[in-house]
Amino acid sequence: MFAFIVRRIIQAIIVMLVIGLVGFVIQHQIGDPVRDLVGERVTPAERAVIRDRLGLNDPAYIQYFRFVKNACQGDLGFSFFYKKPALEVIVSKAPATIELVIVTAIILVVVSIPAGIYSAIYPKSWISRIIMAASTIGVAMPVFLTAIALIYFFGVELNWLPSYGRGETVSIWGWESGFFTLDGLTHLILPSISLSTIMLPLFIRLVRAEMMEVLETEYIKFAWAKGLHRRRVWYLHAFKNTLLPVITVFGVQVGILFAFTILTETVFQWQGMGFMFLEAVERSDTSLLVAYLVLVGVIFVVVNTIVDIVYGLVNPMVRIAGAK
């Protein structure tokens, strides 16, 4: 067991180092750190001095070590557009994205589990067929299209919900939260619905498939034979065993959700990390790019590793298979 955890952690560290290498190569080749620091209006002679002082004339591997050391201490470079350290910029934008992801996750759980269970228990009913058809179309429809459609119907035509921005936010110990104002909450609705449509089809189908498989097992048949009340059979006995694969898939998909926030935030002008990343691309602000890559890489790797370890704890087959 312990060996399994250690192996996963080592793999995580290797992935982080690779991501760090990619980030370093980007910053080294494409960015211009001198310009990042002092802007355009500096003479070449002064630039040469600054380059020397910053250690930019050292060999590549020394610079790489310095990069990794700085990254571990939290110094990810300086954004020339915001005139602030890159990490500070990202941390100030992170609450927006994190709140969006939280609300989306809640929507996913609240909608997909009942829908999946229902369509597993009554697969032939017309509601189930509608759910499955909608989920197939949902897979085909890209998230930005759903977002635009939602904006058009609820924002432009009906004018019920606001279509861009975050609304009023309340600052709680530096965390700009939209949860505590009605305005902020209404602004949260459309983006999180759009973001959830990416994952809803997958989760509904997953819950449905798992539930249908569990309902065929011997011990469920025994429960029916014992004469237990049907709700007890469904919710207490069957459902608990569908949870495990769902949780592990959910853990992985959280990372993908973060990736798709880039698309959603663009449509809704949501001032989060994804939108910041796109602006950094347009402005060639490489420090922010690299900082985003490193931060998002850390999040994925940590989430994946935790999910793998939890799965290994619960499912012994995984540990044995990996030990060969």
Partner 1 sequence: MASFSVLLILVCISLLAPVIAPYNTYDTATFDIMDAETPPSWMAGGSEMFMLGTDIQGRDLLSTMIYGLRISLLIGVGAVFFQALVGIAVGLISGYLGGRLDSLLMRLADIQFSIPYLIVAIFASAIFKLAFGIGRYEDLAVVLLIIIIGLSQWPHYARTVRASVLGEKNKEYVEAARVIGISNRQIMLRHILPNTMTPVLVISTIQVANAIMSEAALSFLGLGMPITKPSLGSLIRAGFEYIFSGSWWITFFPGVLLVIVVLVILLLGDWLRDVLNPKLYKG
Rounded CA gap, 308 and 315, in Å? 10
Torsion of CA 192, 194, 200, 202, to 10 degrees: -120
Q: Does 243 bind partner 1 (CB under 8 A)?
A: no
**Closer to partner 1 by Cβ: residue 13 or 38:** 13
DSSP, residue by residue, 199-257: HHHHHHHHHHHHHHHHHTSHHHHHHHHHT--HHIIIIIIIHHHHHHHHHHHHHHHHHHH
**Closer to partner 1 by Cβ: residue 71 or 257:** 257
Q: How far is the CB of 40 from partner 1 (least distance, A)?
A: 18
Q: Both tokens of residue 276? A: 């910041």
DSSP, residue by residue, 88-108: HHHHHHHHHHHHHHHHHHHHH
Phi, then psi, of 123 in degrees rounded to 5: -65, -20
**Closer to partner 1 by Cβ: residue 140 or 182:** 140
State which of residues 13, 49, 259, 314 lies at the interface with partner 1 (CB under 8 A): 259
State which of residues 45, 72, 140, 158 lies at the interface with partner 1 (CB under 8 A): 140
CB-CB contact of 35 with 80 (8 Å): yes
**Closer to partner 1 by Cβ: residue 228 or 319:** 319
Stretch that binds partner 1, among 1-9, 13-21, 37-45, 70-78 (CB under 8 A): 13-21
Stretch that binds partner 1, among 8-16, 61-69, 83-91, 221-229 (CB under 8 A): 8-16
Considering only residues 149 through 208, tell me which ones interact with partner 1, judged by CB under 8 A.
149, 151-152, 156, 205-206
Residue type, 174: G
Q: Does 256 bind partner 1 (CB under 8 A)?
A: yes
CB-CB contact of 167 with 186 (8 Å): yes
Considering only residues 88 through 117, tell me which ones interact with partner 1, judged by CB under 8 A.
none
Q: How far is the CB of 141 from partner 1 (least distance, A)?
A: 5
Q: Does 304 bind partner 1 (CB under 8 A)?
A: yes
Q: Does 11 bind partner 1 (CB under 8 A)?
A: yes
List of E strands, the chain: 78-79, 84-85, 170-172, 175-177
**Closer to partner 1 by Cβ: residue 233 or 263:** 263
State which of residues 188, 193, 233, 301 lies at the interface with partner 1 (CB under 8 A): 301
CB-CB contact of 213 with 205 (8 Å): no
Q: Does 247 bind partner 1 (CB under 8 A)?
A: no
Phi, then psi, of 78 in degrees rounded to 5: -125, 125
State which of residues 183, 255, 309, 310 lies at the interface with partner 1 (CB under 8 A): 255
Q: How far is the CB of 53 from partner 1 (least distance, A)?
A: 26
Q: How far is the CB of 276 from partner 1 (least distance, A)?
A: 13
Residue 238's contacts (CB-CB under 8 Å, 6 or more residues apart) are 211, 214, 215, 220
Rounded CA gap, 144 and 124, in Å? 32
- Which residues are at the interface with partner 1 (CB under 8 A)? 11, 14-15, 18-19, 22, 26, 29-30, 136-137, 139-145, 148-149, 151-152, 156, 205-206, 209, 255-256, 258-260, 262-263, 266-267, 278, 281-282, 284, 286, 289, 293, 296-297, 300-301, 304
